[in-house]
Each structure stands twice: as structure tokens, then as C-alpha cells.
Amino acid sequence: MSSKLPPAPSGYPVLKNAVQFARDPFEFVERATSECGDIYRMDLPAVDDVFVFAHPDYFDRVLVSDIDAFGKTEDYQRAFGHGLLSVEGQQWSHQREMLQPLFYREQIKGYTDQMVACTERRLETWKEGETLDLEPEMKNLTLEILFSTLFGRALVPGEDQDLRDAADGLNEWFTPSSWILPPWVPTPARRRFDQSTKRLRQEVRRLLEEGSDQTGVSPSINEPSGSNVQSIPEQTAAASTTPDLLTQLQQARNREDGPQFTTEEIEDQLITMVFAGHETTAAALAFTWYVIATQSDIREQFQEELDTVLDGGRPTYDNLQNLEFTDQIITEALRLYPPIHTIPRQTITDVEVGGYRIPEGHEIHLSIIHVHRDEQFYEDPLEFRPERWTNEFEGELHDFAYIPFGGGRRTCIGREFALLEAKVVLATIGQKFQFEWGKKDEINLEPRVTTRSKEGIPLKICQR
């Protein structure tokens, strides 16, 4: 094995690469790859070096061909206990096997009406001519959809602020300042994280208790928790509706062959889903609306497709399958603006990658955003071109050059859910409204837990 460590980009004498990284992490990654190539070391003062991989061959190595040499980082376990995102080994295979069927297309399909209804309810709050920041707006909407489909609990637009704050607070564990501070430092962000998980656990436990009082029935299928909360419209309770995840997990406890999770494990799973599932999908949607607002050729084609395929009707699972251009828009948005810009891992043993030694116990960052914008794989990578996604192009693309949902066995369990949700939201809103971008400049990206726009995505709402 090589004894040579990967190169580190030039930095300051004491703080090394920490200052540049904290100031502008995306800019740092770009500069570091042009200075050092597609594998390098971040030299950080207070914590161990972090290694960055920026080539799909290395993604394949970490996520598939040498997967046992790379584990999840300790941060995930500290944050989400026994949730699917953090566990490993036997415990992970067991959980994934139990949860996977609940995320099959056939199951997810049954959430379509609920997704449409949540979107329609949010649209009732919109006013012609007002400017909305689409980042928080889409986050509110995706949280409402998750609560409805996973918890069976209606979150009403403009209400339940404590639960919205708690969902938001889950990200605090992973703020960039936390990447460069040891885990035992009780930063305000980490304290907010603890309060958030406490509030969400309390809510899950309340719903579980309500559920066990109503044997065999959905605990609270979109029933209000307080008198001022409305239930989801009648049409969502159609026979084809899939029961919410919490109910399914609870009912399975009563069957011998079902997933046998303890109450604490159910809490961990649901908190994990809120963390992994709402801000990611919201980011994908906010960036998609930004592109549709700023590129008139894409907007026209998108609207024409909605008008032809849906003909003014309510989106259904079946008619959504015919929105081919909308599919391409989503695929391209997830390339140019991948919500998860970086996948973290930790070496379990010393490994040699790209001719360099990566020592045991060190953190690795797979830079998805760098590869998604690399001209080796994409012509004019910074241009938004949905039409590049032909079968022929996909067939020729390196398997790991497009991984918005990760890859290998730890690939996103919510992929089908997120893609359906994105299409529902685009189709429901896109039939009624369009947006105007009032600024001259383009957005600037910054990496929080998900990829974000530094200035938000303020768009003016116009009726179509």
C-alpha cells in the first residue's frame, strides 16, 4: 500500500484550510480540485483531516465495490440513533428489508391524491402579485406532504409552527461549523437539534398512543390534533389510498410477519424520514421553479405539456406518467442542483485510493455536485438542458456520474416517493401559476445540509 497521503490545497499557517472552507465551501471544493485533482485532503486544525473524492470511479469504490471498507460517519449515529440512515451491518439489512416494501412504487402510488390535496391547500394561501421565497415555501409544502403520508397527521398551512421549527432544527447537527468542531462541543446549533428531536419524538409517541386506542384503524389519518386543524379533503380517503407509514408500522407489530420495531425505533425511523425527506425534495422543487421562471423556452414547453396531457384536470398517478418533459426537467434539476451535494463516509480500515493512502477512521466526502458539473461527463455542464436526458445519453453515462439519490445498497429509499412528489407539485402548481424572477443576477449556491441559494429564491406569483 502507498504511504503517500493525497495533496492538500494551500491554506493559512494555523487555521490551514478551515478559513477558506468555512467562508465558501463550494468555492473551496472547486479551487481544491483544480489545484490538487479529483482526490485531496482538507487540512483542518481542530479535527482529523477530511478526504474529498471527486470522481465517479471513487464513488463506485466507496458505495459498491469496496463498500465494507467505508462506514457511515459517527455523526449520523449520534443524530438519528437507530434510524435507517445511520445504522449499519445486520441491523441495517434487517431494517431495510422491513421498510423497503413500504416504499415500493405500488405503495407510493397510493399517496398521489394526498400529495395533490396538500399542494392545493397550500395554494389557497397564495396571492396574485406577491413575492414568495420558494425555499421556505417548498419546505413547508414537503413537510405537510410528509406529515400527511407518513404520520397521518395534517399540518395546516400557517399553523403547527413548533413542528415546522422542530423539522428545521434537525439540520442543525450538520451545519458547516459542526463539520470543523469536535462532536462534544455543545454549540447552540446542537442544542437546537436536541430540542427538535425531543419535540418530534413527543409527537410520534402521541400519534402512536392515539393509534393504539383505535385498534386496527389508522391512528389519526389526517385528523386534526387540535380544534383549529382541518382534515384532508374527503377525496383523499379513496380506496386506493395507502395508509400512512406510522399506521403501517404500528399495525405490523400485531402481525407475526410484519416489521417488528420498538416504539423508540419507530420514533427514530420517522424522525429520520423527516430529516432525509423534506428539505431534500423542497430544494429540488425550489431550484426547478427558479429555472422554470428564468428560462422562457423551458417554461413554455413545460406549460404546453401540462395543458396537453392534463387538459386542466387534477393530476393522477396515471396521467403523471405521460409528463415526459417534466421528468427530464426534474432529472436535470437534480443534476445541476443536487440537494445532497456531498455524501459523507468514514474509513473502517486503511485503504488505497487513486494511488494514495487514506488512513483508518477518517472522514471522506463524496462531492456529488462537483461530478454532476464536470465537463468530462456533461457538455456545457453549467447549462440547464433537460433535453440532454435521452436514453442514449443515459446509456453512455458513467454509472456513478449521476447520483442525486446516492448509489449501491445504501441508495435513497425515498427515491420513488420524492420523484412522484416533485411531479405532483410541479403539475398542480404549474397548471395554475407561473413565477417571475425580479433580480438581475443569478442565484449563488451554498452548502448547508442540502444545497441552498445564498439569497433564497424569491419569485413573484402570477396566475396563468
# chain residues binding ligand HEM, by CB under 6 A: 22
Q: Which of 44, 62, 85, 351: binder of ligand HEM (CB under 6 A)? A: 85
Is residue 406 at the binding interface for ligand HEM, with CB under 6 A as the rule?
yes
Q: DSSP letter string over 296-362?
A: HHHHHHHHHHHHHHHTTPPP-HHHHTT-HHHHHHHHHHHHHS-SS-EEEEEESS-EEETTEEE-TT-
CA atoms of 266 and 368, how far apart (whole Å): 30
Q: Which is nearer to ligand HEM, 43 or 144 (CB)?
A: 144
The yes or no reply on residue 302 touching ligand HEM (CB under 6 A) is no
| Residue 236 is a binding residue for ligand HEM (CB under 6 A) | no
Q: Rounded to whole angstroms, how far apart are CA atoms 175 and 83?
A: 20
Stretch that binds ligand HEM, among 52-60, 255-263, 273-281, 389-397 (CB under 6 A): 273-281
Part in contact with ligand HEM (CB under 6 A); list of ranges 159-167, 293-301, 346-354, 399-407: 399-407
| Residue 18 or 232 having the CB closest to ligand HEM | 232
Angle between the N-to-C axes of helices 324-336 and 263-294, in degrees from 0 to 180, rounded to the nearest 10 = 100
CA 50 to chain centroid? 23
Between 281 and 328, name the residue whose CB sits nearer to ligand HEM. Answer: 281
Q: Taking a C-beta distance cutoff of 8 angstroms, is the pair 208, 263 a contact? A: yes
If binding is defined by CB under 6 A, does position 102 make contact with ligand HEM?
Answer: no
452 binds ligand HEM (CB under 6 A): no
Rounded distance, CA 41 to CA 358, Å?
Answer: 9
289, 437 Cβ separation under 8 angstroms = no
Residue of 280, 328, 346, 434 that binds ligand HEM (CB under 6 A): 280
358 touches ligand HEM by CB under 6 A: no
d(CA 166, CA 171): 10
Binding segment (CB under 6 A) for ligand HEM, from list 35-43, 154-162, 406-414, 456-464: 406-414
Query: Do 357 and 3 contact (CB within 8 A), yes or no?
Result: yes
Among 277, 315, 447, 458, binds ligand HEM (CB under 6 A): 277
Residue number, 115 or 358, with CB nearest to ligand HEM: 115
Segment interacting with ligand HEM (CB under 6 A) among 105-113, 133-141, 228-236, 270-278: 270-278
Asked if 447 interacts with ligand HEM (CB under 6 A), we say: no
Report how far residue 277's alpha carbon sits from residue 141's, in angstroms, rounded to the nearest whole number. 12
- Quote the least distance from Cβ 379 to ligand HEM, whole Å: 23
- Using CB under 6 A as the binding rule, the residues of this chain from 106 to 135 that contact ligand HEM are none
Q: Which of 339, 386, 430, 447 binds ligand HEM (CB under 6 A)?
A: 339
Q: 16 or 335: whose CB is closer to ligand HEM? A: 335
Buried b (16+ CB within 10 A) or exposed e, 344-362: bbbbeeebebbebebeeeb
Dihedral (Cα; 301, 323, 102, 86), 10-degree rounding = -30
Our CB check for ligand HEM shows the closer of 273 and 449 to be 273
Query: Are the beta carbons of 420 and 108 closer than 8 angstroms?
Result: yes
Least Cβ distance, residue 302 to ligand HEM (angstroms): 18
Q: What are phi and psi of 331, to 5 degrees?
A: -60, -45
Candidate residues 18, 292, 340, 429; the one interacting with ligand HEM per rule CB under 6 A: 340
Helix (H, G, I), strand (E, B) or coil at 133: strand
Q: Name which of residues 29 to 68 contact ligand HEM (CB under 6 A).
A: none
Calculate the CA dihedral of residues 447, 452, 454, 460 and round it to 10 degrees.
180
Given 58, 80, 261, 417, the residue binding ligand HEM (CB under 6 A): 417
Residue whose CB is less far from ligand HEM, 192 or 365: 365
211 is a contact residue toward ligand HEM (CB under 6 A): no
Gap between the Cα atoms of 237 and 200, Å rounded: 25
Q: Among all chains, which residue has been given the C-alpha cell 402510488?
A: 109
Say which residue the cell 445486520 belongs to. 90
Cα–Cα dist 302/48, whole Å: 47
Nearer residue to ligand HEM within complex by CB, 425 or 443: 425
Closest CB to ligand HEM belongs to which residue? 414
Name the segment binding ligand HEM (CB under 6 A); options: 19-27, 188-196, 338-346, 385-393. 338-346
CB 59 within 8 A of CB 400: yes
- Per CB under 6 A, residues contacting ligand HEM are 84-85, 96, 272-273, 276-277, 280-281, 284, 339-340, 343, 404-406, 410, 412-414, 417-418
